């Protein structure tokens, strides 16, 4: 199975900060990666797919990059509604696998 390692697992930041989350795959997955945001008690929401394509309705402050084994999710200016847990998901090979998550909290 392909393992995804997210870092950091926890991040404390302030409103307006630029935030970067990394997802590393145990083997190459081309651009077959998606990012999700999840708030407590809610279902995950798709942010980005194929590593860098912004899902409809997602603010342009979110961006994704990378290919192969290293990927990043960047929030250019953190807003109060962005405090949540973020997950990457590899779509290249079955079984699909998620990263362990990155919790973004208010500093």
Partner 1 sequence: EVQLVESGGGLVQPGGSLRLSCAASGFTFSDHYMDWVRQAPGKGLEWVGRIRKNANSYTTEHAASVKGRFTISRDDSKNSLYLQMNSLKTEDTAVYYCARAKYDSRVFFPDYWGQGTLVTVSS
19 vs 47, beta carbon nearer partner 1:
47
From residue 63, give the alpha-carbon distance in Å to each of 24, 26, 42, 48, 76.
17, 22, 22, 7, 8
1 vs 105, beta carbon nearer partner 1:
1
Q: How far is the CB of 17 from partner 1 (least distance, A)?
A: 24
Q: How far is the CB of 16 from partner 1 (least distance, A)?
A: 28
75's enclosing H/E stretch is strand 70-75
Q: How far is the CB of 43 from partner 1 (least distance, A)?
A: 4
What's the CA angle centered on 101, arms 105 and 16, to 5 degrees? 35
Q: How far is the CB of 78 from partner 1 (least distance, A)?
A: 22
13 vs 91, beta carbon nearer partner 1:
91
CB atoms within 10 A of CB 60: 7
31 vs 76, beta carbon nearer partner 1:
31
Contacts of 89 (CB under 8 A, 6+ apart): 4, 33, 34, 35, 36, 96, 97, 98, 99
Q: Which positions touch partner 1 (CB under 8 A)?
A: 1, 31-32, 34, 36, 38, 42-46, 49-50, 53, 55, 87, 89, 91-92, 94-101
């Amino acid at each position: 199975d392909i393992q995804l390692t997210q870092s950091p697992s926890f991040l404390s930041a302030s409103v307006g900060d630029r935030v970067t989350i990394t997802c590393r795959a145990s083997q190459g997955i081309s651009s077959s990666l998606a990012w999700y945001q999840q708030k407590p008690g809610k279902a995950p929401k798709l942010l980005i797919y194929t590593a860098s394509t912004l899902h409809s309705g997602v603010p342009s402050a979110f961006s994704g990059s990378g290919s192969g084994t290293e990927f990043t999710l960047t929030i250019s200016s953190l807003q109060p509604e962005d405090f949540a847990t973020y997950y990457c998901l590899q779509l290249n090979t079955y079984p699909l696998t998620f990263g362990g998550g990155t919790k973004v909290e208010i500093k």
